[in-house]
Chain A
Amino acid sequence: MSALLDVKGVTMRFGGLVAVNDVGFSLAKGEVLAVIGPNGAGKSTLFNVITGVYRPTAGKVSFDGADITGKPAYEVVERGIARTFQSSRLFSDLSVLDNVIIGMHTRTKTGVLDALFRPGASKREMAACVEKAEALLKAGSGDLHAQRYRPAGTLAQADRRRLEIARALASEPKLLLLDEPSVGMDEVETDALVADIKRLRSKNPDLSVILIEHDMRVVEAFPTHVMCIDYGSRIAEGNFETVRADPRVQEAYLGKAAAHA
């Protein structure tokens, strides 16, 4: 298996602060990587570097055989990396349906002149988007489809997370980055989320996923490839058992004394 995503020696400095320090990993097609680590460890910054929100101070990000280091975010999406945000960033005054359709932006083509002078083509494109969006809304747990004309800002927390995932999937990604998808979900909803991700993977075996998670129930569900980051550096990588047993990981989560107790 050739690597779909290859991150080499990525460092991200903000002034004196080193948010990500020489982190490297690679991810194969169809693989799931869980990234764990305490708050402020640099996990989300790593996502921001991969998706082109930040240009790394050093290092290289390759995706699908091409160098995407520092490419603008909108181009990265087009190449097939979609993401969700830790604090869900929905288009809150637009309907649930519109949110998903906007997610298809890179897969649609209508320009200003098309919209003005070929309204039929523009309408057909929109109708196809609506159909796809409705299917995506029906696919996940919860009843997003029934709420499709509600403004996204009025959704309950769990539905907001689900909608973010649906919107990310709308861009037909090869790699899906989920930034703490289970935040604000109760146990039942978290289990449904895990089931959603598993179903998604069985439907698209080629889809790779990187998951930032604090909830170990979710990490446990995808135990093959786990990476732990602390203070911007990768401190452990391997399967869930190995990483969990790693003394540095225990120290990072529980503090020095507890780890040795």
Chain B
Amino acid sequence: MERPMPSGAPSVATASLFVVASQLAGAVFLYLVLKAEGGWQVIGLLALLGAGFFLLEKKPRIADLAMASMARVPLLAVAMAAVVVLAFPFAVGSNTYMLHLLIVAQLYAVLALALNFQLGSANIPNFATGASYGIGAYVSALLAINFGVSFWLTLPVAALAATLFGFLIGIPSMRTRDTYLALVTIAFGVVVQQLLNNFDFTGGPNGLVGIPAPSLFGHSFADPLVIFGHKLPSQANFYYLAAALVAVAIVTARRLHGSRIGLAWNALRADEIAARAQGINVAWYKVLAFAVDAFLAAFAGTIYAFYVSYISPDNFTFLVSVTIMTMVIVGGMDNIFGVIVGAFLLTILPEKLRAFSDYRLLFFGIVIIGFLMIRPQGLFPQRMRDYGSHS
């Protein structure tokens, strides 16, 4: 972190090559992980990943080069990422299980990005992201089942409801800090889950069944998706929907991070008293972080509800909040890309470790600890904002 910014920016050709090659390599690796069968293949791929991160830890110049390349050819980087994301279902083909994993991973990526505003940017340990996720899912499901409201309309309504909930937890938590704040959010999370479990209109422990599939321009998301004569399974609809949401979350995160709001959050993370002395209304910015978190989490909840068409309180337990928190910590606090990688890793890994049957969770724990030993600051740690070196 103490190194000065790299003086020589890479040439356009080098940057383009690096961007294309690294994204393709990432996509191929993800494909191999999803495809992997049996313990040895998984272990091999994990070892490869570990070696990659080891190299990254030893040679921080690689990360500098990556950032400089992205900054050099930003349009190419975005276009390439879009192509990779759009093309991925074609590579996966009719393997619905792989698609399912990708959808869940993307939804978790959104949840982790939502929590990152708090945990990463402002160091607010919010254990209620799972509850916001649940509120989003339930509000939209109830609207769709009882009133026949279309999916597209439930999206903003659910998000607003969850944001209101975010303000609700945010206000009492202004008075608490650190461990106590964590306790307040845990209590909120548990209360929400218990309410969902006990209310009649939420279906109690049985949850809500028969959430209708959304449709767009007459195309139902329950039907297979046909693009250029290629028939993709119906999950592909939700894959693209979730991908769009991830894109929205990334843009939101980038814009807030790059503005004075992101800086204010970082300031209160570093030193609340000093932040106040710079004119930052600390209480307001904390509540704001809660609201933004809840807003994005509710989007993910809505898509989840319509995707699985059946939700119950079990989907939104305290454990879900802890998982989201782990994704942020393992991926890298306050690093957008890192948080997404963390979400994918922690969603896909437990599935792939099924080969170890009874020892699955043990292995999972070992792998996570291993990665944190290689990269103690998270897989992709926070980076200094770069304003260019003009003047």
A interface residue numbers (CB < 8 A to B): 51, 53, 72-75, 77-78, 82-83, 85, 89-95, 97-98, 101-106, 108, 110-112, 114-116, 119, 122-123, 125-127, 129-131, 134, 149-151, 154, 167, 171
A91:B282 contact, CB within 8 angstroms: no
B277 near A130: Cβ-Cβ < 8 Å: no
Give the docked Cα–Cα distance between A32 and B292 (Å): 44
Which residue in A74, A93, A98, A116 is a CB contact (below 8 Å) of B276?
Answer: A74
C-alpha gap A94/B280 in the complex (Å): 16
With a CB–CB cut-off of 8 A, which chain B residues contact A112?
256, 261, 288, 292
- CB-based contact B264/A149 at 8 Å: no
B277 touches A116 (CB 8 A): no
Chain A contacts of B277 at CB under 8 A?
51, 53, 73, 77, 82-83, 85, 89
Contact B288 A85 (CB under 8 A): no
- Which A residues lie within 8 Å of B264 (CB)? 102, 105
* Beta-carbon contacts under 8 Å, B233-272 to A: 252, 255-256, 258-261, 263-264, 266-267, 269-271
Contact B256 A85 (CB under 8 A): no
**Which one of B52-60, B140-148, B209-217, B382-390 contacts A?**
B382-390
Given contacts A77-B278, A89-B274, A115-B255, contact A102 B261 (CB under 8 A): no
Given known A-B contacts A91-B266, A95-B384, A74 and B288 have beta carbons under 8 A apart: no
Residues in B1-40 with C-beta less than 8 Å from chain A: 1-2, 4-5
Please indicate the chain B residues that have their CB under 8 angstroms from the CB of A110 in the complex.
259-261
- Is there an interface contact between A94 and B267, defined as CB atoms closer than 8 Å? yes
Chain B minimum-CB-distance residue to A170: B278
A259 to B255, CA, bound (A): 63
List 11 contacting pairs A-B, 8 Å CB cutoff, sorted by A: A53-B276, A77-B277, A90-B270, A90-B274, A91-B267, A93-B270, A102-B275, A105-B280, A125-B259, A130-B387, A151-B1
Q: What are the nearest 9 A-B pairs in CB distance?
A: A77-B279, A106-B279, A91-B270, A89-B274, A115-B259, A73-B276, A130-B387, A122-B259, A95-B384
Q: Is the CB of A122 within 8 A of B384?
A: no
* Nearest A-chain residue to B264, judged by Cβ: A105
Pairwise interchain contact A149-B5, C-beta atoms closer than 8 A: yes
In the complex the two chains form, is A151's CB within 8 Å of B384's CB? yes
Chain B residues with Cβ below 8 Å from A93 are 266, 269-270, 382
Contact yes or no, B2 A151, CB < 8 A: yes
B281 within 8 A of A: yes
Give the number of chain B interface residues (Cβ < 8 Å).
36
Q: How far is the CB of A9 from chain B (nearest CB, A)?
A: 25
- The CA of A98 and the CA of B384, in the complex, are separated in Å by 9
Chain B residues with CB under 8 Å of A149's CB are 4-5, 384, 386
| A127 neighbours in B (Cβ, 8 Å) | 387
Task: Indicate if B357 sits at the interface (CB-CB under 8 A).
Answer: no
Q: Dominant SS at the A interface?
A: helix
Which residues of B have CB within 8 Å of A82?
277
Given contacts A93-B269, A103-B278, A125-B260, 20 further A-B contacts (CB under 8 A): A74-B279, A77-B277, A82-B277, A90-B270, A92-B270, A93-B382, A94-B267, A94-B270, A97-B385, A98-B266, A102-B275, A110-B259, A112-B288, A115-B261, A116-B255, A122-B255, A122-B259, A126-B260, A134-B391, A154-B1
**B273 at the A interface (CB under 8 A):** yes
Contact B273 A53 (CB under 8 A): yes
Q: How far is the CB of B282 from chain A (nearest CB, A)?
A: 7
Q: A89 near B271 (CB under 8 angstroms)?
A: yes
User: What is the CA–CA distance of A83 and B278 in the complex, to the nearest angstrom?
Assistant: 9
Contact of A74 among B2, B4, B282, B385 (CB under 8 A): B282
Give the shortest distance, in Å, between B70 (CB) and chain A (any CB).
17
**CB atoms of B387 and A105 under 8 A apart:** no
Contact at B266–A94, with CB atoms within 8 Å?
Answer: yes
**Alpha-carbon separation in the docked complex, A231 to B90 (Å):** 78
Bound together, the chains give a CA A51 to CA B387 distance in angstroms of 31
Judging by beta carbons under 8 Å apart, are A98 and B281 in contact? no
Point out the residues of chain B lying under 8 angstroms from A123, CB to CB: 258
**Cβ–Cβ contact B274 & A85, under 8 A:** yes
Chain B residue numbers with a CB within 8 Å of A105 are 260, 263-264, 267, 278-280
On chain A, the residues within 8 Å of B292 by CB distance are 112
Q: Given contacts A91-B270, A93-B270, A150-B2, is CB(A126)–CB(B259) below 8 Å?
A: yes
